[in-house]
Amino acid sequence: SRTYLITGAASGIGEATVALLRSQGHTVIGADLKDSDIAADLSTAEGRAELVARARELTGSRLDAVISCAGIAHFDPLTIKVNHFGAVATLDGLRPLLAAGTAPRALVIGSVDSVHPTDPAIVDAALADDEEAAVEASRAAVDRGEGHLVYSSSKAAISRWIRRCAVTEDWAGAGIPLNAVGPGVIITPMTQPLLDDPDMLRLVEQSVPMPLHGHARPEQIAPLIAWLTSPENTHVTGQVVFVDGGADAVLRGDRT
């Protein structure tokens, strides 16, 4: 049995992944704002430090897999702080614990939204690891009425971050696959209010068309997350695997 740490564990995709891994006999440490083994706000430096400190205490500084699910979709600078910088702090902060684990694996939840238009100012600042500039650029996007770009940019940034890092000494060199899963629309507390509103539902269906099986439940994506973070995954790394009912194929067509 393996030891996993999952952020965003109290709800939606994280919660379903915790349940699947526990049903398979693994030890799972959950982290979230509340209602979890570790309470930590990953939008703050204190919360990020708390995550790593508590994870060390609870595991004897040894983890076999880290899965970063914590995320928000607000049209607000907070979204870049949680979705990109919180995820980077989780993955980088816990990497030493993974290095001490067995068949270590890491994964973050991206989004098919990363193929939508993004704001280069936000993405570039995030990839330059400049949180202040990324927040400033996000605020500017919100101010000019393009708050939705903060979310797509946060997911594009974290997807590009994993592609860059996956092949470095720290990750590939240490034998740690690092991937993202890019969901289409998953029915969770994050999306339920949109799906319940007929006008918003129409917009969602336009921007994320899912010809195969429509919107998914978290239980339908958890098995892929579990596989990518299992010892069986020896060679998939640096990938953003879309689980989107065909949305990426519709949106990007031949641009592979």
> Which residues make up the interface to ligand NAI (CB under 6 A)?
7-8, 10-14, 32-33, 41-43, 69-73, 82-83, 86, 109, 111, 183, 185-186, 188-191
Looking from the CA of 32 toward its CB, the CA atoms found within 13 Å total: 20
| Cβ closest to ligand NAI, residue 3 vs residue 188 | 188
179's enclosing H/E stretch is strand 178-183
Q: Which residues contact 169 (CB under 8 A, 6 or more apart)?
A: none
Residue 151 annotated to the active site? yes
CA distance 215 to 181: 16
Residue 212 C-beta: closest distance to ligand NAI, Å? 15
| Cβ closest to ligand NAI, residue 108 vs residue 125 | 108
Residue 244 neighbours by CB distance under 10 Å: 26
With beta carbons less than 8 A apart as the criterion, state whether 235 and 178 touch: no
In DSSP notation, 44-63 reads SHHHHHHHHHHHHHHHTS--
CA distance 101 to 76: 36
| Cβ closest to ligand NAI, residue 74 vs residue 164 | 74
With beta carbons less than 8 A apart as the criterion, state whether 248 and 210 touch: no
| Cβ closest to ligand NAI, residue 215 vs residue 254 | 215
Catalytic residue among 4, 85, 151, 171: 151
With beta carbons less than 8 A apart as the criterion, state whether 57 and 15 touch: no
| Cβ closest to ligand NAI, residue 22 vs residue 100 | 22
Q: DSSP 3-state assignment of 100? A: coil
In the DSSP assignment, the letter for residue 172 is: G
With beta carbons less than 8 A apart as the criterion, state whether 5 and 31 touch: yes
Q: Which positions are catalytic?
A: 151
